[in-house]
Amino acid sequence: MSQMLQEIAEQPTALAKTIHEEQGKVKRLGEFLKQRGVELIVLVARGSSDNAALFGRYLLEITTGIPVSLSAPSVYTLYGAHMKLSHALVIGVSQSGEGEDINRVLETARASGAYTVGITNEPASSMVHLVDETLLMHGGRERSVAATKTYTGQIMHFYMLARALADGAEHQAKLDYERIPEYAARALELRPAIEAMVERYVFMENCVVVGRGLAYASAYELALKLMETCYVVAERFSSADFLHGPLAIVDRHFPIILFAPPGQTLESAKVLMERLHELHADTLAITGDEAAARMCTRSIQMPGSINEFLAPIPYIIPGQLFAALLADAKGLNPDAPRSLSKVTRTL
């Protein structure tokens, strides 16, 4: 078994431990930040961590009402810009805590008056010494180059932070993240069905991955996993954007993977599914909606009880399994993608 598959299987335990170890700290941080009066949140990350930050942007804006920006590190590292951040919270997200550009942004932001937080898997990393507060993942060292358990661990921290900062009981009630480790364990039970399914995609060279809203980051993350482990050219779009031009690339049997959890974005996903059916595309839905599943060529059926707020972690696990098992079916090693290393240092 590849290390990637082993680490995918470790996620329910890793998530539960992260909640147990960090929940109290995040709650206290939320109380402090409310008193401080944060008016802007800036997230800075690269790679899979950037995809986790994309999810964090949606979740934090929906639940807190605070504007959230995804930082462009080059603004700091290449152009030397100095931002006015006295009422900002700047969060760096990095598996290793050693990304030089991420750390440079955090260091500059702190000097510009921001309160800085680092989300990392490495308690002895450089990031820890640069920020005001550190939030750690507790899943152990991740050895496969393709991030899996650290990606979902980062998302879990955004859940905890969102509930700590949430504006009103209505939003807090939607963030019942303690249920996610159980949902993750149930998602792992889909491995036999996915293993049988990937044989149909062994010769896939191109595809599109679609998600919208809280599922948008999942489209980015699955596309990245397919590119780095299977060498598939995977474009990613929201269902709304895909209908505005990119739909032209679709012809008969073109593979499209869609995240379609029950919730606000499901109807727009179904509209796209209908159009793709007309074009005779090869569609694979990851969904908890039976009607959406019937509209596609194939589906990975998730429990219908998982709402869209809690879906991103359990829904990405079948995607991770799909990428890891497809790499194996193609005769590739998902733990050591060509030209890649675990820690990427850029400025």
Do 198 and 100 share a domain, yes or no?
no
CA–CA dist 177, 295 (Å, integer): 30
Considering the domain architecture, whether residues 26 and 100 belong to the same structural domain is answered as yes
Residue 231 backbone class (left: φ over 0; alpha: ψ -120 to 50; beta: rest):
left
Examine the fold and report which residue of 175, 203, 234 is the final residue of a domain before the chain moves on. Answer: 175
Residue 340 lies in a domain: no
Counted domains in the chain: 2
Residues 194 and 127 reside in one and the same domain: no
- DSSP β-ladder status, 88-94 and 40-45: parallel
- Give this prediction's pTM: 0.95
Tokens of 248: 């032209």
**Domain boundary residue, one of 175, 194, 221:** 175
Query: What are the pLDDT digits (tens) for 222-241?
Result: 999 999 999 999 999 999 89
Work out the average pLDDT over 14-19. Answer: 98
Containing domain of residue 82, as a range?
3-175
Q: Are residues 215 and 163 in the same domain?
A: no
Residue 243 pLDDT more than 60?
yes
Q: Over the Cα atoms of the chain, what is R_g?
A: 19
Cα–Cα dist 299/257, whole Å: 9
Q: Is residue 339 part of a domain?
A: no
Q: Over 70: is that where the pLDDT of 340 sits?
A: no
Q: What is the average pLDDT across 59-78? A: 93
Does residue 72 sit in the same domain as residue 146?
Answer: yes
According to the model, what pLDDT value does residue 81 have? 84
Cβ 68 vs Cβ 60: under 8 Å: yes
Question: Domain check: are 257 and 282 in the same one?
Answer: yes
- Tell me: do 167 and 191 sit in the same domain: no
φ/ψ of residue 92, rounded to 5: -95, 135
Q: Are 152 and 18 part of one and the same domain? A: yes
Residue 338 lies in a domain: no
Question: Could you give the CA distance from residue 66 to residue 87 in angstroms, rounded to a whole number?
Answer: 11
Q: Is residue 341 part of a domain?
A: no
Q: Above pLDDT 70, what percent of the chain?
A: 97
Q: Residues 25, 83: one domain?
A: yes
Which residues lie below 8 Å from residue 225, measured CB to CB, with a gap of 6+?
Answer: 146, 319, 320, 323, 324
Q: Is residue 56 part of a domain?
A: yes
Could you give the CA distance from residue 116 to residue 42 in angstroms, rounded to a whole number?
9
DSSP character string of 269-294: HHHHHHHHHHTT-EEEEEES-HHHHH
Let me know if residue 342 belongs to a domain: no
- The pLDDT, as a whole number, for residue 341 is 57
Mean pLDDT of 107-125: 96
Tell me, yes or no, whether 195 and 137 share the same domain.
Answer: no
Q: Tell whether 288 is covered by a domain.
A: yes
**What's the mean pLDDT in 80-90?**
91
233: enclosing H helix or E strand? strand 233-237
Using CA atoms, how far apart are residues 102 and 79, in angstroms rounded to an integer? 15
Q: Which of 154, 175, 196 is the last residue of a domain?
A: 175
Q: How confident is residue 346, by pLDDT bands cut at 50, 70 and 90?
A: low
Average pLDDT over residues 256-263: 97
Cβ neighbours for 32, distance < 8 A, ≥ 6 positions apart: none
Q: Are residues 222 and 123 both part of a single domain?
A: no
Judge residue 35's burial from the number of C-beta atoms within 10 Å of its C-beta, 0-12 exposed, 13-18 middle, 19 or more buried.
Answer: exposed
**DSSP state, 220?**
H
Q: Are 154 and 117 in contact (CB under 8 A)?
A: no
Average pLDDT over the chain, rounded to an integer: 94
CA dihedral 240, 243, 246, 247 (to 10 degrees): 140
Together in a domain, 217 and 287: yes
CATH number at residue 317: 3.40.50.10490
Instruction: Judge whether 167 lies within some domain.
Output: yes
